[in-house]
Amino acid sequence: MVEINLWSGLRRFAGDQVVISVKGDTVREILDALVTAHPALTPVIKAGVSVSVNGQIVTNMSAAIDPLDEVYLIQRIKGG
């Protein structure tokens, strides 16, 4: 299981949980598992979020995730 830490704006869509454990081996799989477990998160995830793995923003949805990784779902960070 991978623990996903949610930024405060997402917690209301996930029953006020701060950390959610899901199964998955890639960024895409853990996001899919997250919206399956908490469908109210679907519009926010589809609109775009940033995924931080061990302190690095990951944009490759096929990137491997290890259960020991520190994963944060944060408000989308856009370049400019």
In this structure, what CATH number is given to the domain that contains residue 35? 3.10.20.30
Asked whether residue 49 is domain-assigned, the answer is yes
Asked whether residue 80 is domain-assigned, the answer is no
Which residues on neighbouring strands pair with residue 74, listed in sequence order?
50
Asked whether residue 24 is domain-assigned, the answer is yes
Confidence of residue 75 (pLDDT cuts 50, 70, 90): confident
Flag the least confident range among 7-11, 18-22, 35-39. Answer: 7-11
Q: Which domain holds residue 68?
A: 2-75
Mean of pLDDT values over 14-30: 97
Asked whether residue 14 is domain-assigned, the answer is yes
CA dist 5 and 77 (Å) reads: 16
Is the overall model pTM greater than 0.85, yes or no? yes
Phi then psi for 16, rounded to 5 degrees? Answer: 60, 20
Instruction: Please count the structural domains in the chain.
Output: 1
Asked whether residue 16 is domain-assigned, the answer is yes
